[in-house]
């Protein structure tokens, strides 16, 4: 590392005088003024619009787990199974009680109809008919209760099979095979990667200008990517401690590799301004120093230290000092440095 640093320093030192490139011509870009959005930047995180933590609804031992973190699932896919033997026995018992109640109902109906005919023939009193009618209505209520109990037992049995509520990606699995599940215990967390948004906290003093334009771009440093937000939503509540308000910016569906919790920098448009821009890929960073290789009209290459301003998205980065409008910079700093080294070696050999 020390040897390479010394060589690099030597090459930069020799770049104080014009050096002409050897080899293939470098690809360059012209530094120029461009009208871009003037922005207010806020740090935030990504979250999924649709995310869910699937929990157990019935107690029992987990006998099957079919998914793990990072796996894609589709709506209705089986995620896990809970031991269904107890629920199956309860459902069988409810079905038996329902059959008994239906039989009692049928018997009460026949008895009520028979008693009615006997009353018409004056063989029994009206009180006997009233008693038969009351028994019939009681049997109807018991049959209805038995049917409801059977449906409840059937639903409890179906809850032993846990399925995905929507298509997405498994973010986490909070249970292991053989553990006990209880109602409310989280089992699997799922999110939909097609619907993502960035959430940032904005000071109340900046809310007016954020609302005025309602436009933002999201910078994803880990993906080295900028995307245009689809919509901006300012939540109608503020944090009493920090005096900030959450603002959501929806991402387009075309963003690949984004996931909940990823760091994002949201640039809210507040106006338009002309800025001197340099392509981001033309920049060279050494510790806290930023610079670029400036290519002259005759092909000479100089390393120039720059003072940078705010990023302007895919258009580039603002340059505050160190370069003038109309100058050309090398788009491949590695190739430019290689040519400088080669030229330095050639000069050393000639000496």
Give per-residue pLDDT as tens, 146-173: 888 888 888 888 888 999 999 999 999 9
d(CA 265, CA 267): 7
Contact predicate 304/291, CB 8 Å: yes
Contact predicate 338/8, CB 8 Å: no
Give per-residue pLDDT as tens, 41-61: 889 999 999 999 999 988 989
Task: Select the more confidently predicted residue: 323 or 263.
Answer: 263
What pLDDT, on a 0 to 100 scale, did the predictor assign at position 351? 63
To the question of pTM greater than 0.75 for the whole model, the response is no
The phi-psi region of residue 26 (left if phi > 0; otherwise alpha if psi is between -120 and 50; otherwise beta) is beta
What pLDDT, on a 0 to 100 scale, did the predictor assign at position 6? 36
* Start-to-end Cα distance in the chain: 27
Asked if residue 227 has pLDDT above 70, the reply is yes
Q: What is the mean pLDDT of the chain?
A: 83
What pLDDT, on a 0 to 100 scale, did the predictor assign at position 251? 92
Contact predicate 190/165, CB 8 Å: yes
Asked if residue 12 has pLDDT above 50, the reply is no
Give per-residue pLDDT as tens, 160-213: 899 999 999 999 999 999 899 899 999 999 999 989 999 999 998 888 888 888
Q: Tokens for 219, please give them.
A: 């910078």
Residue 41: count of CB within 10 angstroms of its CB: 14
Contact predicate 169/190, CB 8 Å: yes
Q: H or E stretch including 19?
A: strand 19-20
CA distance to 14, 322, 339, per residue, from 9 (Å)? 9, 19, 14
């Amino acid at each position: 590392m020390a040897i390479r640093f010394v060589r690099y320093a030597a090459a930069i030192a020799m770049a104080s005088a014009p050096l002409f490139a050897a080899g293939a011509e470098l690809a360059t870009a012209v530094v120029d003024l461009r009208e871009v959005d003037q922005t207010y930047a806020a740090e935030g995180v990504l979250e999924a619009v649709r995310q869910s933590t699937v929990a157990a609804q019935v107690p029992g031992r987990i006998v099957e787990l079919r998914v793990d973190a990072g796996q894609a699932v589709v709506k209705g896919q089986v995620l896990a199974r809970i031991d269904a033997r107890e629920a199956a026995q309860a459902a069988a018992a409810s079905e038996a009680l329902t059959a008994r109640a239906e039989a009692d109902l049928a018997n009460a109906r026949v008895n009520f109809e028979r008693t009615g005919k006997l009353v018409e023939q004056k063989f029994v009193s009206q009180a006997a008919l009233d008693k038969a009618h009351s028994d019939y209505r009681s049997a109807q209520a018991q049959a209805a209760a038995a049917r409801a109990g059977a449906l409840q037992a059937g639903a409890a049995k179906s809850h032993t099979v846990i399925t995905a509520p929507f298509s997405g990606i498994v973010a986490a699995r909070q249970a292991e095979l053989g553990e006990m599940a209880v109602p409310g215990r989280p089992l699997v967390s799922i999110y939909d990667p097609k619907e993502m948004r960035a959430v940032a906290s904005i000071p109340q003093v900046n809310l007016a200008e954020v609302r005025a334009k309602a436009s933002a771009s999201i910078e994803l440093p880990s993906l080295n990517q900028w995307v245009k937000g689809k919509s901006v939503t300012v939540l109608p509540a503020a944090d009493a401690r920090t005096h900030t308000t959450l603002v959501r910016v929806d991402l387009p569906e075309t963003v690949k590799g984004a996931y909940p919790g990823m760091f994002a920098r949201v640039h809210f448009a507040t106006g338009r301004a002309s800025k001197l821009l340099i392509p981001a890929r033309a920049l060279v960073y050494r510790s806290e120093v930023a610079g670029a290789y400036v290519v002259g009209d005759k092909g000479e290459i100089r390393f120039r230290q720059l003072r940078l301003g705010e990023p302007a998205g895919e258009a580039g980065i603002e340059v505050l000092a160190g370069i003038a409008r109309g100058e050309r910079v090398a788009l491949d700093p590695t190739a430019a440095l290689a040519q400088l080294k080669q030229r330095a070696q050639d000069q050393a050999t000639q000496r």
